[in-house]
Amino acid sequence: MISYERELIAIKAFYANQYATRSGTPYMNHINEGLAILKALEAPEMSNKIFCLHPLHMIVNITWSDAYMRVLEYHEKNGIKRNNKHSDDIDILDLSRKLGGITREVLYALLADKIQNQKDFEIYHQHTHPRRIELTAYFSIWIDTLRQMLGI
């Protein structure tokens, strides 16, 4: 049994056979690819739980998981300058300050999320999205900041 089996079962049940509207990819791709990124990064096991549960935090009661408080932390920090018109006017130093006090496990989960979302953006939207320049900067700043904070 993997340490995050309950969390993985929960997200699989929730996503079932749902697909993204624009790309047509199954929602579970995000989770599966994020978990692969976390494995490659040798992230703490708690990061896997956080990553599996992050889509569920406002929808279902996940207080049964020991990762629950970290999922709340994930969502608080993930909301910083998220995909707005001015996402390119935040720099690494500013983002590092705003992410201050974040736990390592959440840093890894956020990094996996941004890397996976960047990959999908580059495949499905980079050449057609009206805010492609801002979103390219957004992903770059987040990923660089998170890597720097993790020392990787």
In this prediction, residue 88 carries a pLDDT of 52
Helices and strands per DSSP (H, E), number in the chain: 7, 0
User: Distance (Å, rounded) from C-alpha 86 to C-alpha 19?
Assistant: 29
- DSSP-assigned states of every residue in 40-103: HTT--HHHHHHHHHTTTTTTS--TTSTTHHHHHHHHHHHTTT-SSTTGGG--HHHHHHHTTT--
Average pLDDT of the residues in 74-83: 77
User: Distance (Å, rounded) from C-alpha 131 to C-alpha 125?
Assistant: 10
Question: Which residues are registered as beta bridge partners of 26?
Answer: 19
Q: With a threshold of 0.85, does the pTM exceed it?
A: yes
Average pLDDT of the residues in 66-90: 77
Closest by CA position to 44, among listed 139, 112, 96, 124: 112
What is the distance of C-alpha 92 from the center of its chain?
Answer: 18
**AA letter at 138:** Y
In this prediction, residue 127 carries a pLDDT of 83
pLDDT digits (tens, 9 = 90+) for 25-69: 999 999 999 999 999 999 999 999 999 999 998 888 899 999 999
Lowest mean pLDDT segment, chosen from 37-41, 110-114, 125-129: 125-129
Biggest CA-to-CA distance, the chain? 44
